Structure formats: C-alpha cells, structure tokens
Amino acid sequence: MLSSTVAAIRPADAAAAAQARDRQARMTKPAGSLGVLEDLSIRLAGLAGECPPPLPEPAAVAVFAGDHGVHAQGVTPWPQEVTGQMVANFLAGGAVVNAFAAQMGASVTVVDVGVAVPPAAGAGLLERNVRRGTRDMTVEPAMTRDEAVAAIEVGITVAQELVAAGHRALLTGDMGIANTTASAALVAAFTGADAAAVTGAGTGVDAETLARKTDVVRRALARHGRLTDPVEVLAAVGGLEHAAIAGFVLGAAAERVPVILDGVIAGSAALAAAALAPDCLDAVVAGHRSTEPGHGVALEHLGLTPLVDLSLRLGEGTGAVLALPIVQASVRALRDVATFDSAGVTEKQ
C-alpha cells in the first residue's frame, strides 16, 4: 500500500494553476491584495487539476493517538495514562478540538494507532492499533520497520476512507503523552538541526525537565546514528501517531485532497512524508505556527507558510481547525468573486 500510494502522487497540474493565477489577476480587487490567500487558491487549483477547485468541505479531523516508551526517561510530568483518558474525552466531545470542530462544522475521528491501554469502544473511534506504545528510543528503535510501515498504512487507509465518505479537506490531529520528544528527534533527524534548537517545553515542563528532554533527544539521535531512509528514521525515533500522520498526508496527496497540518507533531510527520514523496507537499497546508521551536524549523525546511500564529501549543488538531475557514475562503473567493469584465468594473489604467 505504501509503495502504490507514493506512486499515485503526482505533481500539481500546471495548467489549472496558471488558469487560477490568471483569474486572480482579473478579479475585482487590486492584484495581489489577498496575499497568501491568492497563492493558496492557486495551489489548490493545481492540486485538484481544475479552476476553481472544489470547496474544501466537508472537513474531517483525524486524531491519531499513541503512547511512547521514551516517557520512561522523565521527559514530561504528565502520566502516560492521560493518552487513553484524552481519547475518551475526544469521544465524549469534551476536548478543545471538539469545540473548535463544532464551530467550523468539521467531524472528528479518533484513531487508536498505538495507545498503551485499549480505550473503550465508542462512536468516532477507529481501532487500528499497531502496538501498545513504542519502545524507548534511547535504548532501541521505537518501532521495527514493519511496525512503522503498518502505522503509515493506517494513516493512508484513514485518509482513503474519509475521502470515500465525501470529505474534501483532511485535518491532522494527535494525542500522545511525550510525543513532542519524538517530534523533536524527528525534526533534528530530517533537518540536521541541533537537539537544543528543536526541543521545546511541550505541555509546559520546567527548565530542569526541558534540559533532561533535550539530552534525551540528543542521546536518541546518537544511539541510532545518521539514517537516510525516511521509514527507518520514523522507526528509530518516531511515534506510531507520527507514522500514521505521515501516511495520512500521503493518502490525502494521492487522493488530490488538501490536508491541513496542525503543530509540531504534524510538522515532524510531514517531514517524513515529504522525504518519501516530495510532490505530496502540493496537498499540504500549514494551518498554524506552534510555539514549539521544532515546528518553525520543520516549516522552514518544508517551505510552508503557516496561515495563523496564535501562540498555540495544544495539539489535538486545534490549530488546523482554526485555519480551516481561511482555506475555504481562499477557494470561495477564487470561485465566486466577479472579474472586471463580468462585473462591468473599470480596471486601473
């Protein structure tokens, strides 16, 4: 499935993008006055292969949940069982992402790809567990290669299922205590950045814990050496939810549907997806910029401009959901705004 999905990802349609660019220049507004929204609508036309592209609605958030063996290194004060408890909270509709998604009219699907304690079944839960949490990446690879591929393929399958159900915008969400530690390791591995430059406070750790967390990332990277195969990088220092989000991005790109990234967990996973299939970035929209330092490094490496910057560091998909109406507005403007000719408005001389 991974190989066939990567093979299905094609570059943006240059003709559709050119048509969108031409229409933007003829719309009843000063050229360039919509800034990033113009560029975004052009990208989405190229992705869809038509101008205007389909409205990116309805939208679906997929919250991929997994636990991390590196939690044993004391990188966070939060107990590991919070991952499963928050899964239950998502299913009950009590998390921030649920509130934001309700505001934006997006659905929320929770995917157990690696939660340590099996969550209770409930509406909105997909049980796709690959293993009950990763191993400690400072001691051994967090996953085997087969486990990493299986988690990637979970993400691909979820993307395919959501698109088949009629969704035209996919949003990344995540849950996993200690997952910002794995994210920092992934960003450092894929970009070459120093551990100190990409490791942040995560859920709000103190200075002592942050120093320990940074050292853990540095030791994990040293333990596994320089890896060049993206799947091996994911297996060595990533999380099951990171691998699944990478697959989710690849699946969206293969289906020619935009995928809006959330914060540092999604950004680090997108590095893996882009390493596997660079053209997948034509489908990727950076929803926001997290306060986690590794997120900015990842976005710069990917060449993505975040749509909003609200000093968020929650995860769950919250930043991606807040960016959704901006993405939708960019397409609606391209589709609905009159041109100077059609409106009978005189252009500037």
**Catalytic center residues:** 316
Based on its alpha-carbon atoms, the radius of gyration of the chain, rounded to whole angstroms, reads 20
Please answer whether residues 319 and 287 qualify as being in contact, where contact means their C-beta atoms are separated by less than 8 angstroms: yes
- Dist CA 190 CA 313 (whole Å): 21
Please answer whether residues 205 and 213 qualify as being in contact, where contact means their C-beta atoms are separated by less than 8 angstroms: yes
The residue among 243, 209, 242, 237 whose CA lies nearest residue 223 is: 237
Strands 169-175 and 259-261: parallel
Task: Give SS3 for 174.
Answer: strand
- Dist CA 44 CA 17 (whole Å): 8
Tell me which amino acid residue 196 is.
Answer: A
Neighbours of 166 (CB within 10 A): 9
Please answer whether residues 287 and 258 qualify as being in contact, where contact means their C-beta atoms are separated by less than 8 angstroms: no
Residue 238: alpha-carbon gap to chain centroid: 14
Please answer whether residues 43 and 12 qualify as being in contact, where contact means their C-beta atoms are separated by less than 8 angstroms: yes
